[in-house]
Structure 1
Amino acid sequence: MVKRSVIYTENAPKPIGPYSQAILVENPDKILFISGQIPIDPETGELVKGDIKEQARQAIENLIAILEAAGATVDDVVKVNVYLEDIKDFEEFNKVYEEYFGHSKPARAVVEVGKLPKGVKVEIEAIAIFE
């Protein structure tokens, strides 16, 4: 039987719309679907207003907080989708991304989009599979 649970942590920003931070599916392995994370500081609720590197770091830290709340780690991530406001930020984004995912190298897509919520430069979503 498939079990579905909502994952929520105060260590990542509250959703800014009608969605969950993540959904955990157990069948029997656990599959975690993490909603897009933007660079909001969960302690203050404020946007990180820095460059792409600062914003990417906060978005990834938010994603990691949700992974940890579900009992997973970065090593369990199998797929990442990245949305950049400007594809010219690709190289700078990769420098930060590699600090967190360089050893595990999950499958990934990076696309440029017209606009992101709250005018941020980056949004990141992920899927993790673990026991």
Structure 2
Amino acid sequence: MSRSIISTDQAPAAIGPYSQAVRAGSTVYFSGQIPLDPATGALVDGDISAHTRRVFDNLKAVAVAAGGSLDKIVRVGIYVTDLANFAAVNAVMAEYFQAPFPARSTIEVAGLPKGAEVEVDAVMVLD
């Protein structure tokens, strides 16, 4: 099985020893994205909705770099530091995905890198 590293300057560079995504065969595994501005590497300003939009914009950029799009994503993992933000995150996700929606889990965590409130990882299958 072939394996290739996916990288784009349209999404934030990795802040550790990992790749933005890895393609193995027709499956692309995305590393978690937090609401970092790709140009500055800093957390974006705004509320949880603005942060979640930046995260999905970053995932979209990586999906395009891998030769796909958000509609090819089959699984999403969402990590939030406060489940009180669940409805806001859902509302933003609905702006980026249409039915049939990917499988998903949402997990409350104690903390995320750089003090982010939301992180999303994904799995995409290409034709």
Normalised by the shorter chain, which TM-score bucket? Answer: over 0.9
Per the normalisation by structure 1, the TM-score is 0.94
TM-score (norm 2): 0.97
Query: Identical aligned pairs, as a percentage?
Result: 45
**Residue 120 of structure 2 corresponds to which residue in structure 1?**
124
Distance apart, 1:103 and its partner CA: 3.0
Shift of 1:43: 1.6
State the distance in 2 between where 1:46 and 1:121 align: 14
Deviation, 1:104, is 3.6
**Secondary structure, counterpart of 2:93 in structure 1:** helix
Deviations 1:8-62 (A, max 9, x none): 0000000000100000011xxx100000000001022221131110000000000
Pick the aligned partner of 2:98 from 76, 99, 102. 102
Question: Which amino acid is the alignment partner of residue 21 of structure 2?
Answer: A
Report the 3-state secondary structure (helix = DSSP H, G, I; strand = E; otherwise coil) of the residue aligned with 1:20. Answer: coil
| Segments ≥4 residues shifted beyond 2 Å | none
- Superposition CA RMSD, Å: 0.8
Q: Give the match for residue 71 of structure 2.
A: 75
Aligned twin of 1:40:
36
Q: What secondary structure, in the 3-state scheme, does the structure 2 residue paired with 1:115 have? A: coil
Give distance in 2, aligned partners of 1:33 and 1:25: 8
Change (3 A) 1:104 1:42: farther
**Count of aligned residue pairs for this structure pair:** 127
Instruction: Give the aligned partner of residue 10 of structure 2.
Output: 11
